[in-house]
Chains A and B, each alone.
Chain A
Amino acid sequence: MKITLHMVTSSSVDVGDVDQAVPYFPKMFFYAGQGLSGKDVVMWADWER
């Protein structure tokens, strides 16, 4: 049995800073890592730990 560990190791964007966005301006996010696929989904949530 083979198990693959999945993780995101880097993020980048097409325009501007990777850690900032402006409402209603579409921004393209690129992610690289291990085990990523076109079936993945992302969202953002409140910063609570």
Chain B
Amino acid sequence: MRSDCNDAGRVAVPQLEGGTGIIDPMFFTSLDAQGRTVNGGEEAVYGTATFVKSEGPLKLCYKFNKEPFMEYYTFPVTVTGISEVRGIQGDNDMIVLDMVKQLGFVGNGVGEGDMVTWVVESASSDSHCLLDSIYNGERAKRASLEGNEHTSHY
């Protein structure tokens, strides 16, 4: 059976610049991601992937050396991302001090348990989301899921 992972021009997206993501060369290892030794008789490899756009779920296409790609539906990856922020009332980009505002977050892979906060525009790293948050992390409210939207109260 020929996998459509091999039809690069149709549905499969090679992990190259401009595609879904990038993966570095694979390397042998004897451990899994948690540092546990793999089962006897098994081999293990690892590589680093950087996805460049939100989409999915995606299926894994694995190429054993010179063999064609084999498709695996048992290891899906969803690349998350927010495509739109909606104010339930008023403008999407304005909040009045001390007034409760409901905001909906729409996108691929958003779900219950996600959290949001805001940082000053000059923030440039993940750690700033905790250190420079206007809510100092602690007051960042847990979002609840309503349909495919997150509704947060501020």
Q: Could you tell me which residues of chain B, from 69 to 111, have a CB within 8 Å of some CB in chain A?
A: 69-73, 75-81, 109
Q: Could you tell me which residues of chain A, from 1 to 49, have a CB within 8 Å of some CB in chain B?
A: 6-14, 18-49
B66 to chain A, nearest CB (A): 8
B89 to chain A, nearest CB (A): 29
Secondary structure dominating the interface of B: strand
Secondary structure dominating the interface of A: strand
Closest 5 CB pairs of A and B: A12-B33, A44-B58, A45-B12, A36-B43, A11-B75
Show 23 residue pairs from A and B whose CB-CB distance is below 8 angstroms, ordered by the A residue: A8-B60, A8-B75, A11-B60, A21-B77, A21-B79, A23-B54, A31-B62, A32-B32, A32-B38, A32-B44, A34-B42, A38-B28, A43-B13, A43-B14, A43-B61, A44-B56, A45-B4, A45-B58, A45-B59, A46-B12, A47-B73, A48-B4, A48-B11
> What is the interface of chain B, defined by CB distance below 8 A to chain A?
4-5, 11-15, 19-21, 23, 25-29, 31-34, 38-39, 41-54, 56-67, 69-73, 75-81, 109
